[in-house]
Amino acid sequence: MMKHSIAATIFGATLGVNIALAQAAAPKVILLVGPPGSGKSTQAAFLARKYGIKALSMSDLLKQAISSGKKKDPVAKALAAAIASGEVLPDDEAAELIRRRLIRADLPNGFILDGFPATAGQAKALDRILQDQRLPKAVVVVLEAPDDVIRKRMLARRRIDDTPENIDRRIREFREQAALLAGWASQTHVVRVNADAKPADVSKQIVVGLEDFWSKELAAHQP
44-83 pLDDT tens trace: 999 999 999 999 999 999 999 888 756 678 998 999 898 8
For residue 221, what pLDDT is reported?
Answer: 78
Q: Is residue 2 part of a domain?
A: no
Task: Tell me the angle at which helices 164-185 and 120-132 cross, rounded to the nearest 10 degrees.
Answer: 50
Residue 23 lies in a domain: no
pLDDT (average), residues 140-163: 92
Predicted model pTM: 0.84
Average pLDDT value for the chain: 86
State the pLDDT at residue 22: 47
**pLDDT given at position 113:** 96
Q: Please count the other Cβ atoms lying within 10 Å of the Cβ belonging to residue 105.
A: 5
Residue 105 domain flag: no
Q: What is the CATH number of the domain that holds 214?
A: 3.40.50.300
Q: Could you tell me the residue range of the domain that residue 132 belongs to?
A: 29-57+110-220
Neighbours of 6 (CB within 10 A): 10
Q: Using DSSP bridges, classify how beta strands 189-194 and 139-144 pair: parallel, antiparallel or unpaired.
A: parallel
Flag whether 17 is in a domain: no
Inter-residue contact 143 to 193 (CB < 8 Å): yes
pLDDT for position 218: 85
Region 175-195: mean pLDDT is 84
